[in-house]
Amino acid sequence: MKKIGFRVRYNVPVMDDNFTLYKTMLLIRRFEERLLSEFTTGRLVGTTHAYIGQEADAAGIFSITEPDDVIFSNHRCHGHFLAYGGEPYRLAAELMGKATGLVGGRGGSQHIHYRNFYSNGIQGGIVPVATGMALAEKVHATGNIVLAFVGDGTLGEGVLYESLNIAALWKLPILFVLEDNRYAQTTPVEKGMAGSMSGRFTAFGIPVWERDTTDVLDIRSAADETLRAVRSGAGPACLILHTYRFSAHSKGDDPRSPEELARIRPFDPLTVHGVRLTDEECTKAESEVSIIIEDAFSRAEADPFPMLNLEH
């Protein structure tokens, strides 16, 4: 899979080569780490759901989406947003509750919107909305497709299955991306799910591509096949990515043992993909990302808080 495209990211055209993929993942990693640390300084309130460990999913998928594709993400949306090409500064400002945030401080971590990117914090409820968006794109013949991101925990929500049925019935251009990080908050998949994960989609006639990998190139390759399938007009498709979440569900709620965390650490997507880069390239990525993160958070911190305007 050699597809390489130009895209606009932070207003700078870049190529999705090995370095860029690594840098995208590193940006997500360092952004989330900075975010978690900011909670201890008191500059951030509320909650967050870090994407640490899952970076390859977003980096791989968004390296080959089209600029006008429509994205519906969930509570764990920062990684998707940054890989989509969203501005780290605007996200940082939103998380700090600043007027300059993506949605002026009204949404916070889980409820953001930028261009064709949307997120909401209700498990499952986003899926019929994304399905309706796919219908609108089909009606308007835009050629855009919709990507709806769900997790293994979302498989417990009934409206997901209503939506799969309708998406398949009406042959809608939507890709369901199921990121299985093996835990619904603290509940392991085997305690929350009976039957087959892929069978939930194939039961509706939705073709499934399934990968158990944290290698961004493998993920990009699988995503490319699924995106082609959806763009062909054949109807929805599903991409199941079995991955690992290294951090807690949100901030401190992680009952997993240190042994388990150590066992999954070798699957770190930065390690897996980092071997393809030279030491100099890794250092360069660190240095560039560090500048972006510092700029994002320092600018955001200086920004004003929003005021409630009841004239609205």
CA–CA dist 47, 109 (Å, integer)? 7
- 104 in contact with another protein (CB under 8 A): yes
Q: At its nearest, how many Å lie between another protein and the CB of residue 283?
A: 38
CB of 185 closer than 8 Å to CB of 249: yes
Cα 312 → chain centroid: 32
- 21 in contact with another protein (CB under 8 A): no
The binder of another protein chosen from 63, 73, 74, 120 (CB under 8 A): 120
The binder of another protein chosen from 106, 228, 263, 265 (CB under 8 A): 106
- 169 in contact with another protein (CB under 8 A): yes
Q: At its nearest, how many Å lie between another protein and the CB of residue 305?
A: 14
CA–CA dist 124, 229 (Å, integer)? 23
CA–CA dist 49, 249 (Å, integer)? 6
- 139 in contact with another protein (CB under 8 A): yes
Give me the phi and psi of 185, to 5 degrees please.
60, -95
- 97 in contact with another protein (CB under 8 A): no
The binder of another protein chosen from 113, 228, 263, 265 (CB under 8 A): 113
CB of 95 closer than 8 Å to CB of 86: no
The binder of another protein chosen from 39, 87, 132, 187 (CB under 8 A): 132
Task: Specify the DSSP class assigned to residue 188.
Answer: E
- 135 in contact with another protein (CB under 8 A): yes
- 158 in contact with another protein (CB under 8 A): yes
Q: How many helices (H) and strands (E) does the chain have?
A: 12, 11
Hey, which residues between 39 and 78 contact another protein (CB under 8 A)?
70
CB of 239 closer than 8 Å to CB of 145: no
Classify strands 6-9 and 12-15 as parallel, antiparallel or unpaired: antiparallel
- 129 in contact with another protein (CB under 8 A): yes
- Grouping H, G, I as helix, E, B as strand and the rest as coil, residue 67 is coil
How many residues lie near another protein (CB under 8 A)? 36
The binder of another protein chosen from 33, 87, 162, 210 (CB under 8 A): 162
Q: At its nearest, how many Å lie between another protein and the CB of residue 2?
A: 33
Q: Which is nearer to another protein, 132 or 290 (CB)?
A: 132
Query: Could you give the count of Cα atoms lying within 13 Å of 308 in the half-sphere of its Cβ?
Result: 1
Q: At its nearest, how many Å lie between another protein and the CB of residue 18?
A: 35
Report the phi/psi class of residue 210: left, alpha or beta, with left for phi > 0 and alpha for psi in -120 to 50.
beta
Q: Which is nearer to another protein, 140 or 191 (CB)?
A: 140
Q: At its nearest, how many Å lie between another protein and the CB of residue 235?
A: 15
- Which chain residues interact with another protein by CB under 8 A? 70, 102-104, 106-107, 111-113, 118, 120, 122, 125-137, 139-140, 158-159, 162-163, 165-166, 169-170, 312
